[in-house]
Amino acid sequence: MANKRKSRNRNELIRCQKCGEDYSVTYKSCPFCDEVAARSAGRRGGKRLNTRGGGYGGGGGGGWGPLRIITTVLSIALILAAVYIVITIVKPLVELGNGEPGSAVTATAPAATEDPAPEPPTEPAAEPTPTPAAEPTPTPAAEPTPPATAEPTPSLANAESFTLNASDFTLRRAGETYRIRAAFFPSGTTGSVVWTSSNPGAVHVADNGTVTALAAGNSTITATLENGYAQTCIVRCGWSDGSTYPTPGTGTATAAPAGGAALSINRTDITMRREGETFALRVTGTNDTPVWSSSDSSVASVTSGGTVTAVSSGTVTVTAAVDGQILTCIVRCNF
C-alpha cells in the first residue's frame, strides 16, 4: 500500500507561484523557472522530463507561458509594423523617385534589356543623312550667280561712246529751245558730256544739252565724252524779222518779240545758305510750260517744274525758256 501511494504521489502536479507552470512533485523546484534563470546566466539549466502535466514534452499547454505569449505577440506586432511602414512610407518614396507610380520595377527592367536593342535602328538612321547632305551640294551652285553680279558691275562703268537724238534741225524763232540728248554705249553705261557751240551768238547750249536760238544763223553743237569721243549736231536759226535774244545767264529778263506777250519770273536773284535748300521759280504771263536749265548743275540744279536746289558753294544762272522768250535768275549758294 505504501508503494502504491508513493507512486500516486509521483503523478501529482504542483503549480509554480512564479511562472504559473505545472510541474511534477518529483522536482524540488520549478524546472521552468530554473531554465529561464539558466538561459539568462548563459547556461542550460533545469532538467526537463517528459511528464504528463509539465515540461516541454507533455500535453496540457505547459509550453505557452505568459512570458512566451508576450514575446510572441510583440514579435508579430513588430513584423506588422515593419510591413505597414514599408507599404505606407517606403513604397511611395520609391515610386515617387522613379516618376511613374506603380511601375518602379517594371519601368527599369525593360529599359536595361532594351539598351542593346536601340543600336541596330541607329545604323539605318545614319544612311538617310548622307542622302539629304548630297542634295544641298548642288544647290550652292553659285556659278550662275557670279556672272549675274559681274554683268551689272561693268554696266556702271564709263561709257565708251554715244549717239545723239538729232544731227541737224532748225529753230524758227528767237528764244525757241530744243534739248539734244545722248544715248551711251554700251547700253546701261553712264558718262559725262561737255556741250559747246561753234556760234554762241546764234545758238546757246546749256550743260544739259538744251540749245536756245538767240539770233539768225547756224551753229555746230559739239558733245564731247570724258574719253575724248565726240559727236556733233548742226542747229539752224532761220527767221527774217531780225529779232534777237540775249544769251541765257547775262540778263534778268528779255523783251518779247514783235507781237509776243510780256512774261515775268517771280525771282531774279536768290541766295541760299545751306546745302539742299530749295526754292520754286515760277513764270507768269503764259500757259505754256517753260524749259528750265542751270548753267552749273554741280552748284545748283533745277527741275522741269522750276524748283532750284543748292548743291555746293558758288553762283549759277537758272534759265526759263518759254514762248520764244528767255527769263533768267541768278542763284547764289553761300555756305
Please report where in the chains the cell 541607329 appears, as a residue.
122
The Cα angle at residue 306 between residues 327 and 282, in degrees rounded to 5 = 60
Tell me the C-alpha distance between 168 and 235, whole Å. Answer: 6
Per-residue confidence (pLDDT) for residue 195, from 0 to 100 = 93
SS3 123: helix
% of the chain with per-residue pLDDT over 90: 28
Residue 324: count other Cβ atoms within 10 Å of its Cβ.
23
Q: Spell out where the chain has E strands.
A: 13-15, 22-24, 161-164, 168-171, 177-179, 182-185, 194-197, 203-205, 210-213, 217-224, 230-237, 264-265, 269-272, 278-280, 283-284, 291-294, 300-302, 307-310, 314-322, 325-333
DSSP 304-327: TT-EEEE-SSEEEEEEEEETTEEE
* Full-model pTM: 0.34
Residue 283 phi, psi (nearest 5): -110, 130
Per-residue confidence (pLDDT) for residue 274, from 0 to 100 = 92
Q: Is 52 or 33 the better-scoring residue by pLDDT?
A: 33
Which one, of 206, 195, 202, lies nearest residue 233 by Cα? 195
Does pLDDT of 45 surpass 70?
no
Residue 217 phi, psi (nearest 5): 145, 180
Per-residue confidence (pLDDT) for residue 20, from 0 to 100 = 80
Q: Would you place residue 61 in the very low, low, confident or very high pLDDT band (cuts 50, 70, 90)?
A: very low
Peptide bond into 128 cis (omega under 30): no
**Domain ranges across the chain:** 2-63, 64-103, 161-237, 264-333
Q: What is the mean pLDDT of residues 213-231?
A: 90
Which one, of 75, 78, 58, lies nearest residue 67 by Cα? 75
Going by their DSSP bridges, the two strands 325-333 and 269-272 should be labelled as parallel
Q: How do residues 229-264 score in pLDDT, each as one tens digit? A: 999 999 999 877 767 777 665 443 444 444 455 788
Does pLDDT of 88 surpass 90?
no
User: The domain 161-237: what is its CATH number?
Assistant: 2.60.40.1080
Q: How do residues 101-159 score in pLDDT, each as one tens digit? A: 444 444 444 444 444 444 544 554 445 554 544 454 544 444 444 333 333 333 346 89
Q: Are 223 and 182 in contact (CB under 8 A)?
A: yes
Q: Are 320 and 253 in contact (CB under 8 A)?
A: no
C-alpha distances (whole Å) from 189 to each of 151, 229, 318 are 12, 14, 28
Please report where in the chains the cell 539549466 appears, as a residue.
45
Q: Which CATH number fits domain 264-333: 2.60.40.1080, 2.60.120.10, 3.40.50.720, 3.40.50.300?
A: 2.60.40.1080
Q: Are 63 and 31 in contact (CB under 8 A)?
A: no
Q: How do residues 266-321 score in pLDDT, each as one tens digit? A: 998 899 999 999 999 999 988 888 999 998 899 999 999 999 999 999 999 898 88
Tell me the C-alpha distance between 324 and 173, whole Å. Answer: 7
Per-residue confidence (pLDDT) for residue 24, from 0 to 100 = 81
Mean pLDDT, the chain, integer? 74
C-alpha distances (whole Å) from 282 to each of 3, 220, 274, 323 are 169, 31, 22, 14
Per-residue confidence (pLDDT) for residue 40, from 0 to 100 = 62
Q: Is 264-333 in the same CATH topology as 161-237?
A: yes
